[in-house]
Amino acid sequence: MPRIAVVPGDGIGAEVTREAVAVLRELDRDGELGLDLVEWDLGADRYLRTGLTITDEEMAELGSGYDAILLGALGDPRVPGNEHARDILLGMRFKLDLYVNLRPVRLLHPGGSPLKDVSPADIDMVIFRENTEGSYVGMGGVFKQGTPDEVAIEEDVNTRKGVERIVRAAYEHAGRTGRRLTLADKSNALRHSGQLWRRVFGEVGDEYPAVETGLMYIDALATDMVLRPGRYQVIVTSNLFGDIISDLAAGLAGGLGLAPSANLHPGRIGLFEPVHGSAPDIAGQGTANPVAAILTAALMLEHLGRTDTARRIEAAVEASIREGATTADLGGPLRTAEAGAWIRNALHK
C-alpha cells in the first residue's frame, strides 16, 4: 500500500491540501485506492512552537519509509526570513536529490487562457526543470557590501551528470508519450553551460532516435510560447530558466490557482506540490482555489501508477471549470470548501 506523507504547511497550503486530501479520501471510500495517508506537522506553527524545522531523522524517515510527499505550501509572515521553508523544502529537494521538477501545463477550458483564439489542444505541455543545480546552489558571495563598489557573485553550476540525468528524464517522457522535445538554453550568450547542455542533449538524443527534437534560445521561446504555444509539448531546461518559463506557461493556462508540480528522482520518493505558495494575502479567508492542490494529488496518483484515477480527478476538475463552479480567482462564486465539494461530487458523475 503506497504510503503518503501529507504536509499541509502554511497559509493557504493547509486550506487547499484539506480539499486535495478530501478528494483522495472520497476515492478511497471503498478502499479502491488503498492509500496510507499520514499527516506530518511541518511548517511555521511547529517551528514557532518548538524551534524545529525538520530533523535529520525525519528527513531520513521520509526518504526510506514513504512513496510520496503531498505538500501544500510553506511560507509565513511570522517567520520573516522563512528559514523553516528553506530548511524543509530545499532540504527535501537536495537531500532526497529530487532532480526533476516536472510542471505539466494544460488548458482545461477554452475560455481559460488570457490568449485569444486558443483551444485546449494548443496549450498542453510538460516542462522538465533541472531542480538541484544551476543558479540556485547558493555558490558565490558579496564583496564590499553596502559600499558603492559592492560586488555580488552568483555562480551557475552545471555538471555533466546533472545535465545528463534531467535531459534523459525528458527524453524518456517524450519517447513514452510520443511527443516533441525542445531544449531551451541561452547558448549564444552563456556559452560554457549552453554548449554542455547542447552536447548532452545531442548525445542522449542518439539513444532516442524516434523522439522529434528542437532547440530554442530561452528568450525566443518566451515569445514563441505566447504566439504559438501549440508548438511546445515537452521542454527541458535549467533551474533558473525553468522557474521562469513554467510560471509563464502557468499564466497561459489560467494562472497559479490551477498549476500542479512534482519534484522527482525517478525510482525513488516524489514530492508533489502546487506551484503557488502560501499566499499570505488571502490566507485564512477561505477563498483560495483548491484546484492546483487537487490536480497535484492527481499527478501524484499518476506517478504511483493509478492513471485511471488521476484522469477521473482531472475530468471532475475540468467539469467544475466548464460549469463555472470555481473560486473568485477564476471568476466563480465559490469558496475553497465549496469548490472542493463540487469536485468531489463530480467524481461520481
> Active-site positions?
136, 186, 219, 243, 247
Please identify, among the stretches 63-71, 168-176, 284-292, 313-321, the one whose residues bind ligand ATP according to the rule CB under 6 A: 284-292
Taking CB under 6 A as the binding criterion, the range among 49-57, 187-195, 272-280, 312-320 that sits at the site for ligand ATP is 272-280
Proportion of the chain in helix, strand, coil states, percent, rounded to 5: 45, 20, 35
Letters for 74-103 (x = contact with ligand ATP by CB under 6 A, - = none) are: -x----------------------------
Binders in 307-346 for ligand ATP, by CB under 6 A? 329
What cell was used for 9? 504547511
CB 130 within 8 A of CB 116: no
**Nearer to ligand ATP (CB atom), residue 120 or residue 280:** 280
**CB burial of residue 81 (10 Å; 0-12, 13-18, 19+):** exposed
**Closest distance to ligand ATP from the beta carbon of 336 (Å):** 8
CA distance 305 to 309: 9
Contact between 42 and ligand ATP per CB under 6 A: no
Residue 278 interacts with ligand ATP (CB under 6 A)? yes
Grid cell, residue 255, equals 494562472
- 46's grid cell: 511547529
User: In this chain, which of 157, 215, 256, 341 binds ligand ATP, going by CB under 6 A?
Assistant: 256
Q: Under the criterion CB under 6 A, does residue 44 sit at the interface with ligand ATP?
A: no
Identify the sign of the CA torsion 41, 42, 46, 50. positive
Q: Which stretch binds ligand ATP (CB under 6 A): 63-71, 103-111, 125-133, 271-279?
A: 271-279
Q: Which of 31, 281, 308, 348 binds ligand ATP (CB under 6 A)?
A: 281
- Pick from 14, 27, 279, 325 the residue near ligand ATP by CB under 6 A: 279
Query: Rounded to a whole number, what is the distance in angstroms from the first to the last CA of the chain?
Result: 27
CB of 16 to ligand ATP, least distance (A): 6
Handedness of CA 88, 94, 98, 104 (dihedral sign): positive
> Which residue is it, cell 501544500?
72
CB 68 within 8 A of CB 269: yes
Cα–Cα dist 44/46, whole Å? 6
Among 135, 193, 237, 289, binds ligand ATP (CB under 6 A): 289
Q: Answer yes or no: are the C-beta atoms of 282 and 104 closer than 8 Å.
A: no
Touching ligand ATP, residues 139-168 (CB under 6 A): none
Segment contacting ligand ATP (CB under 6 A): 38-46, 228-236, 273-281, 296-304?
Answer: 273-281
Angle between helix 191-205 and helix 160-177 axes, rounded to 10 deg: 40
Least Cβ distance, residue 84 to ligand ATP (angstroms):
12
Site string for ligand ATP, 202-221 (x = CB under 6 A): --------------------
Choose between 103 and 276: whose C-beta lies nearer to ligand ATP: 276
Which value, to the nearest 10 degrees, does the dihedral of the CA atoms of residues 12, 13, 16, 20 take?
A: 180
Q: Write out the residues near ligand ATP by the rule CB under 6 A.
A: 12, 16, 73, 75, 256-257, 276-282, 288-289, 292, 329
